[in-house]
Amino acid sequence: MLLQLNLQSETPIYLQIRNEIVRGIGEGLLEENEPLPSVRQLARDLSIDKMTVNKAYQLLKEEGFIQIDPRAGTRIKKIAPPDENTLTDLAASLKPILLSAKAKGISWPTFINLSSQIFCKGEYK
Amino acid sequence: MISWILWSSLIVIWFSFLMVMLGMNNRKKNIVLGIQIPTPYEESEEVAYILKKYRRQRNVWAVIFFSLSFIIFLFHHFTLIYGYFLIYFLTIFVFSFWVNYSNQRQLKDLKRKAKWISPSTNIRYADTKLSLDENGPQLPRIFWMFLPLPLIVMPFFLYRQEDLFTALLIPGTTLFLWALLLFVFMLFRKTPQKIYTGDTKKDLYYNSIFKKRLLWASILTLWYFSLSNLLFAYMLTRTSFLQSPHLPLFIGIVSLCSGIFFVASFLWNQHTLRKIKIPAFLEEEAYDTNVAGMFYFDPHNPKTFIMKSNGMSSGVNLATKKGRVYMASTLGITFLLLVGILFYLIGNDLVDPHIDFFEDHLRVQSFDYKDTLYYRDIEEIYLVDQLKYGYKSSGSATETYLRGNFFYKGLGKSRVYVFRDHPPYLIIKSKNKTIIFNEKSAQNTLALKEALEKQQTKH
């Protein structure tokens, strides 16, 4: 999978890395148990600081997307079926987005159509 | 003869720099003189003016330096011929750099003032598979090429005095076999090869399209250098450099082979480059990394050794500390070697060989050789008017003098301190060695013989 970063974007770089890897998992570009580059190597290839990559990897680990093993390296984690906590977290993340959409006058069918396109195809056109 | 050999080298140097300049002028989309200019501004008047100026300067440069190369024939002394060769080499390097760099500088200034900046400057890419440490092995780094360096350098010091041919043959063969080994290793291994350019998109592209061509070209270049090393060793030693009647024919064959190889390599490179269709995304280069068409400078690439995107083999990124040290030491060593030879020649010119007589021995000394001979060991002293055909084993053989270890028919291995074409030549034979010596004037040589015979009869 090709990771793409925009250094002029307002989104912090570590968050961009996190978002790119999550996008890869979501779109099926990164498969379960697939190895990821080491912190050092990815930092070298992107010409950024090691701490930035480390921060992104720690965030992904906390969110349960990857597992970091000092011997086996970093790999994409087997995604467990969503439990109650996952749904609660998702609801918390969605709430401001949904309310913002409602405030901007976006209708429910339009929102559903937009969400299903992103969910199935990975992008909205 | 030596003037012709060095003149042909000057023409090769001139041609190489001309090729760099023609390469710079070679228009690609978005790139003018190695500087990225976004499409709408490529055809602007300012850019056209700089290009026109560059072409004019290049043409003047080519004519002047081509004409200057013939000055070498005005000199008749080897030191002066070599000195001119060195000055020409340094001057052409400085001038080519200046012409290329000053025009690039103007384009950069223009680009900065007019704010012609590509929006893709801040986009970076990395591939999760290519960035894996354990992903396929890389192309051999320059380190592996120099691994047998002790084997290459040691024989030179061990055999230099005794036999220059062995001293050059062993390193040449080692380098050749090492290149062969690397090549076989890379050809037959099963794991995919990984080419690092420092740019992941380019890596992806190179790996899929033309890695084998790059590999072949790199290996062939190495072979060429090792083979020419062997030929050079042969030319210098196994034939008397300036005495052999077959020398013109031999040099002709070597030059012809080199020429054929040179042209074939050039055509091969051109053919390879024509085959490569650069995809659009590669043309969105983020930084201007080309310095005067000769160096690579990219502060945003942490890698020291990079694969050239245009041309063959690898380059050095001067933005890294390691790259600067590597380039400075490579250029420094070359410069020191070239200047060292000049000082060696000047030393040989200034210090004429002389014989000093002591109580029980004599000492023959020149700038770089020294022999001590006890009078009691001297078996024979005589004069000859002509030195028969022989070959040089080590030392120096110019049009004016012969110094060092030579092998002459009838005399065997001999230490020679001789001014050419100044007969007679004094032969001093002892138990262990034979010394051939003469002075510039025949009278002095005769006087020396008498003095020597006196000392011999005394002991």
pLDDT score, position A60: 94
Position B226 pLDDT exceeds 90:
no
With 0-12 / 13-18 / 19 or more C-beta atoms within 10 angstroms meaning exposed / middle / buried, residue B367 is middle
With 0-12 / 13-18 / 19 or more C-beta atoms within 10 angstroms meaning exposed / middle / buried, residue B196 is buried
Question: Does B73 or B289 have the greater pLDDT score?
Answer: B73
* Nearest Cβ partner for B123 among A6, A24, A36: A6
pLDDT score, position B193: 40
User: Across residues B133-146, what is the average pLDDT?
Assistant: 51
Position B201 pLDDT exceeds 60:
no
Query: Residue B332 — pLDDT band, cuts 50, 70, 90?
Result: confident
Instruction: Determine, for residues A47 and B122 on separate chains, whether the beta-carbon distance falls below 8 Å.
Output: no
pLDDT score, position B216: 60
For residue B131, list chain A residues with Cβ-Cβ distance below 8 A: 37, 41-42, 45
* Nearest Cβ partner for A47 among B130, B132, B302: B302
Which residue in B12, B21, B29, B10 sits closest to B277, CA to CA? B29
* Nearest Cβ partner for B133 among A7, A34, A38: A38
Query: Residue B295 — pLDDT band, cuts 50, 70, 90?
Result: confident
- Find the length of chain B: 459
For residue B303, list chain A residues with Cβ-Cβ distance below 8 A: 44
- Cα gap B86→B9, rounded to integer Å: 11
Which residue in B449, B398, B441 sits closest to B77, CA to CA? B398
Instruction: Determine, for residues A5 and B131 on separate chains, whether the beta-carbon distance falls below 8 Å.
Output: no
For residue A35, list chain B residues with Cβ-Cβ distance below 8 A: 132, 134
Alpha carbons within 13 angstroms on the beta-carbon side of residue B372 total 4
Weakest mean pLDDT among A38-52, B130-144, B359-373: B130-144
User: Across residues B174-196, what is the average pLDDT?
Assistant: 57
Given a contact cutoff of 8 angstroms between Cβ atoms, the answer to whether B427 and B412 are in contact is no
Question: Does B260 or A26 have the greater pLDDT score?
Answer: A26
Position B107 pLDDT exceeds 80:
yes
User: Across residues B99-118, what is the average pLDDT?
Assistant: 80
User: Across residues A71-80, what is the average pLDDT?
Assistant: 84
pLDDT score, position A61: 92
Position B208 pLDDT exceeds 60:
no
User: Across residues B194-209, what is the average pLDDT?
Assistant: 52
Instruction: Determine, for residues B131 and A48 on separate chains, whether the beta-carbon distance falls below 8 Å.
Output: no
Locate the chain A residue with the closest alpha carbon to B119. A8
User: Which residues does A contribute to its contact with B (CB < 8 Å)?
Assistant: 1-8, 24, 30, 34-38, 41-42, 44-48
Average pLDDT in chain B: 74
Position B222 pLDDT exceeds 80:
no
Q: Cis peptide leading into B424, omega within 30 of 0?
A: yes
Quickly list DSSP for B356-396.
Answer: EE-SSEEEEE-SS-EEEEEGGGEEEEEEES---SEEEEEEE
Position A50 pLDDT exceeds 70:
yes
pLDDT score, position B150: 67
Question: Does B138 or A42 have the greater pLDDT score?
Answer: A42
pLDDT score, position B280: 41
Q: Which residues contact B168 (CB under 8 A, 6 or more apart)?
A: B156, B229, B230, B232, B233, B236, B237
pLDDT score, position B190: 40
pLDDT tens digits, one per residue of B227-250: 666 666 666 555 555 555 565 666
